Amino acid sequence: MMCCGKERNKGFWIKRLVFIPLAVVAGILAFGFVVMTLWNGILPAVLGVSTITFCQALGILVLSKILFGGFKGGKCHHKFHCHSKDEKWMNLSEEEKENLKAEWKNRC
């Protein structure tokens, strides 16, 4: 099977099938531990709230994901959405570029 222009054997895919779920679980556990440790180390002294358990820390992570949509890792997740600023400017004519520059000068 091809991957990134290279032929991959069956062992490569089996390792990937095992490693990726383990890495995801390890990441979730690590984030949960960090949230629990920071909460229990900072918030009870500062705000007077009670300490939380590991399961509650995981619940806070899920809630923050739902409310804030975090952990995305950047703006672009699909190649067809990603355009650099240079690409946008390259497609404009000189007159359009001057109009945009003038508009931004008026705004600022």
pLDDT tens digits along 71-83? 555 555 555 555 5
C-alpha pair distances (Å), 56 with each of 11, 30, 69, 92, 107? 38, 14, 19, 52, 47
DSSP result, 40-102: HHHHHHHH-PPP--HHHHHHHHHHHHHHH-----SS-SSTTT---HHHHHHTS-HHHHHHHHH
Q: 4-13, 30-39, 85-94: which has the highest mean pLDDT?
A: 30-39
- Position 45 scores a pLDDT of 92
Q: How confident is the model at residue 65 (pLDDT cuts 50, 70, 90)?
A: confident
- Percent share of the chain, pLDDT over 70: 73
Residue 108 has pLDDT above 80, yes or no: no
